[in-house]
């Protein structure tokens, strides 16, 4: 009954698209009618839905570059709040007499990273923006730190430690990101260009108090990441004609919210999602010619690893191919590991043959030696593109070490797998059967726990499963469900990834982590794990789950603007 | 889940990435949005703005195809809400449509936005249910559940077999 739509002739829109993309900062830009404003505001909502993609890369090398001066950055004030304080949020401060062990500003001066001096500007916003930087319910209270128990993922408290409901106006509902910071969470909400780009950044303490808030207009936020002392915010000016991020890392003091300068590190290198919360890799991309062929990189170009605990930076050369232009040499991933002296190593993937590793940077040098590569890069599970492919365990040079027998990879947006140390969690089917309507059906789906090195199946959970967080020997997994009968999962549970066994008293209703099973008409809904802390974001609703060992009940916060 | 990244390249190559998606997806994206909104104006603007945003954001976007579809639908949803405040979609006239299209669209208009969106994504946009998670950002299992329900309701409403 939908065949008739094939006869509809869409307009040719490319010229309109390129004109819109040029934007008002480009002389070639041709203003359109007023409808566009509303449209783009809605487009920003789409960006929210893409948070999982766009903002998983926060702190990625391609997110940081030189910062532009924001239109408004007013230092936080301790003046009386002009807004209602959060409910059930007792004012509190953290003991400042004993700086927590994992924050050591004296031993790790921030000047080791290229930071420019802080400047605060007070240019008026182009549109009324009632973001109250003075609306701080607690005094800036110095040092914050996380309890070490929050470092390890595992059994969670029975209820979230923090339950935040954002009650901000529609204007700022177009972009959300939340990251864990020592002692709390940072929440950024924003509107985007051309609907007067502006953002509000709030740090909420674990006790429910608001540590500080900063507001700005004129710039969009691409993302943020915390260090031990600072929150680094990546902005860009949406009116510039250049596509992609143009701004750099604007730093705020995590304790007070005060401007702390700009983190100036190279950007532009295609990055993999950060695999480390502590170390971050920055660099530029391999140059190329108009045909897309790699060209020699600048002789003085270097990669930079930032230690977010100490703000110390380490400059290292690119793989040799970067400087000769023989091949793309910028598919580089940083791996945090105790096996290398600095606490990290780099692996360079083959640009043509992922996940084959071309070289590794370990102990101060790049090496293409197979023995060295194999010694530091473990076997990884991989399924080739397309339904019906098997799960293989590949060594870093591409040799097949094992194959999951009699199963094929379950294919959703791609083959679904998750890593937890020596255990690979793999979604599989017995096979795919064709359906009457021309589709394919996964027969006997299951989630397997597979030993990474041997390929031995350690355990099996039958049925379709959703997996929300994995690490440190545990995984947050849904119960089995059959999508074809219209019944979603009913529960989430924490399972032991070495046995697949559910952990006692670690079950929640499905709605606990997925309060709205269908978010196409709403904002993004995602779950992110940082150490032992799980952030569950569903539009305006933000919940922070902490390990059961540190859980003391729920603090409810209504976050005002 | 592992994510394989796309090489970051120059503005020209970034444009090529978007242009390639335009060539491959523009027609079916536009048609599906027209089916979703019953408005050529909204379909035109949503498609153009989504592609323009993709051009502007460049390397920030790692999956241009999925991004454009999601952005276009978000734009269209927002405009529908603004335009009708949850009232009915405008009636589509038969005389400017291929045979049967206007009738289908008028019937689709009686469905909820969510149901209609999923149906047109699949049946006009050409996405398979298992692929829709990439477009919508919703887990594939949830999509299947929703699509199953939408199809059942569509069958009742449209009086014919759907899918």
CB-based contact A487 B145, cutoff 8 Å: yes
Q: Which residue from B minimizes the CA distance to A44?
A: B71
Minimum-distance CB partner of A439 among B41, B97, B129: B129
Report the SS3 class of residue A247. coil
pTM, rounded to two decimals: 0.62
So what's the pLDDT on residue A7?
Answer: 83
Look up residue A173 and give its two tokens.
């509902």
Percentages (nearest 5) of helix, strand, coil residues in chain B: 70, 0, 30
Question: What sign for the dihedral angle of Cα B112, B117, B123, B128?
Answer: negative
CB-based contact A244 B45, cutoff 8 Å: no
Is the Cβ of A38 closer than 8 Å to some Cβ of chain B? Answer: yes
Is the Cβ of B109 closer than 8 Å to some Cβ of chain A? Answer: no
Quick one: average pLDDT of A346-351? 86
Question: What sign for the dihedral angle of Cα B139, B141, B144, B148?
Answer: negative
Is the Cβ of B96 closer than 8 Å to some Cβ of chain A? Answer: no
CB-based contact B148 A524, cutoff 8 Å: no
- Cα distances from A110 to residues A260, A319, A550, in angstroms, run 10, 28, 31
Quick one: average pLDDT of A293-318? 90
Would you say residue A165 has pLDDT above 50? yes
Q: Which residue from A minimizes the CA distance to B40?
A: A10
Burial-class residue A445 by CB neighbours within 10 Å (0-12, 13-18, 19+).
Answer: buried
Is the Cβ of B144 closer than 8 Å to some Cβ of chain A? Answer: yes
CB-based contact A524 B149, cutoff 8 Å: no
The nearest CA of chain A is from the CA of B90 a distance in Å of: 18
Q: Which residue from B minimizes the CA distance to A220?
A: B57
Minimum-distance CB partner of A524 among B97, B137, B140: B137
CB-based contact A2 B35, cutoff 8 Å: yes
CB-based contact B78 A418, cutoff 8 Å: no
* Residues in chain A closer than 8 A to B47 (CB atoms): 10, 13
* Residues in chain B closer than 8 A to A40 (CB atoms): 49, 53, 75
Quick one: average pLDDT of A76-104? 27
Is the Cβ of A466 closer than 8 Å to some Cβ of chain B? Answer: yes
Minimum-distance CB partner of B136 among A19, A514, A520: A520
So what's the pLDDT on residue A385?
Answer: 72
Is the Cβ of A86 closer than 8 Å to some Cβ of chain B? Answer: no
| Secondary structure string (H, E, C) spanning A167-235 | CCCHHHCCCEEEEEECCEEEEEEEECCCCCCEEEEEEEECCCCEEEEEEEECCEEEEEEECCCEEEEEE
How far apart, in whole angstroms, are the C-alpha atoms of residue A410 and residue A426? 8
How far apart, in whole angstroms, are the C-alpha atoms of residue A396 and residue A203? 41
Q: Which residue from B minimizes the CA distance to A351?
A: B7
Is the Cβ of A434 closer than 8 Å to some Cβ of chain B? Answer: no
Please give the mean pLDDT across all residues of chain A. Answer: 73
Look up residue A41 and give its two tokens.
């505001």
Tokens 């077999």 sit at which residue?
B161
So what's the pLDDT on residue A257?
Answer: 87
Phi–psi pair at A329, nearest 5 degrees: -130, 45
Q: Looking at this predicted complex, what is its ipTM?
A: 0.84
Tell me the pLDDT tens digit for each residue of A389-436.
999 999 999 999 999 999 999 876 567 889 999 999 999 999 988 877
How far apart, in whole angstroms, are the C-alpha atoms of residue A234 and residue A228? 17
Tell me the pLDDT tens digit for each residue of B5-53.
323 334 555 677 888 899 999 999 999 999 999 888 889 999 999 998 8
The nearest CA of chain A is from the CA of B87 a distance in Å of: 16
How far apart, in whole angstroms, are the C-alpha atoms of residue A492 and residue A476? 7
Is the Cβ of A220 closer than 8 Å to some Cβ of chain B? Answer: no
* Residues in chain A closer than 8 A to B74 (CB atoms): 42-43, 45-46, 49
So what's the pLDDT on residue A243?
Answer: 38
Q: Judge contact between A203 and A552, C-beta under 8 A.
A: no
CB-based contact A439 B19, cutoff 8 Å: no
- How many C-beta atoms surround the C-beta of residue A290 within 10 A? 8
Tell me the pLDDT tens digit for each residue of A204-228.
988 888 888 888 887 777 778 899 8
CB-based contact A5 B63, cutoff 8 Å: no
Q: E strand or H helix at A164, and its extent?
A: strand A162-166
Q: In this predicted model, which residue has the larger pLDDT, B97 or A415?
A: A415
CB-based contact B55 A21, cutoff 8 Å: yes
Is the Cβ of B6 closer than 8 Å to some Cβ of chain A? Answer: yes
Minimum-distance CB partner of B137 among A50, A292, A487: A50
The nearest CA of chain A is from the CA of B142 a distance in Å of: 6
Quick one: average pLDDT of A277-286? 85
Which is nearest to A184 in space by CA: A235, A214, A147?
A147
Cβ under 8 Å to A: B residues 42-81? 43-53, 55-63, 66-67, 70-79
């Amino acid at each position: 009954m939908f065949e008739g739509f094939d006869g509809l002739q869409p307009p040719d829109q490319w010229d309109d698209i390129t004109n819109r993309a040029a934007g008002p900062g480009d002389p070639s830009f041709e203003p359109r009618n007023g409808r566009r404003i509303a449209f783009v505001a809605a487009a920003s909502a789409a960006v929210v839905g893409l948070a999982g993609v766009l903002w998983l890369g926060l702190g990625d090398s391609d997110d940081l570059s030189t910062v532009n001066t924001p239109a408004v950055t007013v230092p936080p004030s301790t003046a009386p709040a002009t807004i209602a304080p959060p409910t059930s949020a007792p004012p509190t401060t953290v003991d400042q007499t004993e700086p927590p062990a994992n924050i050591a500003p004296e031993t790790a001066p921030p000047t080791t990273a290229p930071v420019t001096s802080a400047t605060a500007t007070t240019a008026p916003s182009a549109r009324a923006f009632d973001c109250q930087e003075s609306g701080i319910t607690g005094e800036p209270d110095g040092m914050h730190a996380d309890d070490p128990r929050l470092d390890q993922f595992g059994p969670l408290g029975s209820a979230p430690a923090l339950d935040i409901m954002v009650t901000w106006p529609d204007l700022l509902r177009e972009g959300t990101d939340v990251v864990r910071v020592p002692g709390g969470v940072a929440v950024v909400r924003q509107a985007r260009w051309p609907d007067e780009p502006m953002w509000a950044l709030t740090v909420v303490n674990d006790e429910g108090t608001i540590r500080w808030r900063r507001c700005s207009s004129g710039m969009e936020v691409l993302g943020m990441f915390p260090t031990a002392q600072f929150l680094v915010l990546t902005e860009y000016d949406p009116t510039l004609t250049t596509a992609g991020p143009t701004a750099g890392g604007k730093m705020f003091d995590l304790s007070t919210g005060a401007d702390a300068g700009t983190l100036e590190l190279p950007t532009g290198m295609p990055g993999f999602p950060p695999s480390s919360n502590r170390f971050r890799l920055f660099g530029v991309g391999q140059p190329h010619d108009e045909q897309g062929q790699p060209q020699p990189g600048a002789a003085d170009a270097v990669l930079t690893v930032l230690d977010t605990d100490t703000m110390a930076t380490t400059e290292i050369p690119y793989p040799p191919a970067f400087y000769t232009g023989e091949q793309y040499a910028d598919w580089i991933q940083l791996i945090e590991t105790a096996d290398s002296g600095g606490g990290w190593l780099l692996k360079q993937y083959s640009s043509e043959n992922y996940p084959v590793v071309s070289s590794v940077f370990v102990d101060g040098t790049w090496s293409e030696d197979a023995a060295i590569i194999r010694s530091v890069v473990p076997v990884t599970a991989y399924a080739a593109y397309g339904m019906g492919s098997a799960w293989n365990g590949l060594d870093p040079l591409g040799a097949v070490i094992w194959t999951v027998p009699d199963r094929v990879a379950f294919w959703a947006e791609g083959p679904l797998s998750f890593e937890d140390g020596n255990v690979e969690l793999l979604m599989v089917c017995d096979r795919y059967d064709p359906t009457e309507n021309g589709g394919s059906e996964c027969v006997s789906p299951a989630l397997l726990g597979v030993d990474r090195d041997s390929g031995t199946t350690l355990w099996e959970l039958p049925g379709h499963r959703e997996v929300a967080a994995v690490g440190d020997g545990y995984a947050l997994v849904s119960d089995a469900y059959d999508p074809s009968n219209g019944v979603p999962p009913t529960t989430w549970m924490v399972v032991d990834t070495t046995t697949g066994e559910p952990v006692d008293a670690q079950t929640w209703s499905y709605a606990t982590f997925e309060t709205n099973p269908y978010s196409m008409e709403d904002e993004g809904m995602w779950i992110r794990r940082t150490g032992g802390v799980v952030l569950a974001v569903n539009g305006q609703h933000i919940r922070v789950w902490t390990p059961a060992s540190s859980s003391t009940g729920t603090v409810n916060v209504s976050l005002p603007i | 889940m592992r994510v394989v990244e796309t090489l970051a390249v120059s503005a020209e190559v970034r444009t090529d990435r978007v242009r390639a998606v335009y060539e491959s997806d523009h027609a079916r994206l536009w048609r599906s949005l027209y089916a979703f909104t019953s408005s050529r104006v909204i379909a035109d603007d949503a498609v153009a703005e989504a592609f323009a945003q993709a051009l502007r954001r460049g390397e920030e976007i790692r999956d241009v195809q999925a991004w454009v579809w999601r952005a276009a639908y978000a734009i269209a949803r927002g405009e529908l809400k603004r335009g009708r405040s949850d009232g009915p979609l405008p009636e589509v006239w038969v005389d400017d449509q291929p045979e049967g299209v206007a009738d289908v669209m008028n019937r689709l208009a009686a469905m909820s936005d969510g149901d209609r969106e999923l149906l047109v994504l699949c049946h006009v946009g050409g996405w398979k249910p298992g692929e829709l998670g990439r477009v919508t950002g919703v887990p594939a299992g949830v999509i299947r559940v929703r699509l199953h329900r939408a199809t059942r309701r569509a069958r009742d409403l449209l009086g014919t077999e759907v899918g």
